[in-house]
Amino acid sequence: MPAGGVMMYKTVATGGTFDHIHKGHVALLTRCFEVGERVVIGVTSDEFARKEGKRPDQSYEERVAALESLIGKKFPGREHLVAKLDDFFGPGIASPEIQAIVVSGETAQRVPIANSLRKAKGFAPLDVVVVDFVLADDSKPISSTRIRSGEIDTQGKLTKGEG
C-alpha cells in the first residue's frame, strides 16, 4: 500500500447513467481516481436506461460530454476510458485487466453476480470499493432522479418552490 493507506490498482471500473452530473458523481469519480491509476467509466446507453425505467433528461452523447468536461477540469491528465453500458456489467466483466470496481452501496449488491461471470471467464474477482452516498441538505441522498424532479439542485440544495 502506498503512503496514506490507500490501495492503488492499475485499473478500476465504475458505472452509472451520469444524468445531471452532481456531487455524488464527483465523489464516486474522486474515489476512482484515488484508488486507480486508470479508470474505466461505463455510461448507461439511452436504450439500457429506458429498459431500466430511467428517463434521463440528457442524451448519452450529452452525458458523456459533461462527464469528459468534469474529468478534464477535476482530474486533468488522468488516464480514463468512457465505455457505453448496454447492461449492468459492461467492461468490468469483459476485461481481465480491471482489478476493482468502485460502487455506491446501492449497486454493491450486483458485484457478486459480476464476479461469478468473471470466474466463468477465468478472470480474478473484482475487489469492491464502496463510496458512501453524498447527502443533500435534507439528509437524503443526492440523485439525478431528485434533480430531474426539481427537489434539489446538483449540489444537493433544496430548490425553492414546489416539490
pLDDT tens, position by position, 25-36: 999 999 999 999
Which residues of the chain are under the pLDDT cut of 70?
1-7, 161-163
Residue 70 host element (H or E): helix 60-74
The CA distance from 82 to 21, in Å, is 15
Whole-number pLDDT of residue 5 = 55
Query: Architecture of domain 9-134 in CATH?
Result: 3-Layer(aba) Sandwich (3.40)
Whole-number pLDDT of residue 1 = 40
Whole-number pLDDT of residue 6 = 62
pLDDT tens digit sequence for 66-81:
999 999 999 999 999 9
Whole-number pLDDT of residue 106 = 82
Contact in structure between 36 and 12 (CB atoms under 8 Å): yes
What are the residue ranges spanned by the domains of the chain?
A: 9-134
Whole-number pLDDT of residue 94 = 81
Per-residue DSSP letter, 135: B
CA distances from 76 to 44, 70, 79, 123, 155 (A): 23, 9, 9, 31, 22
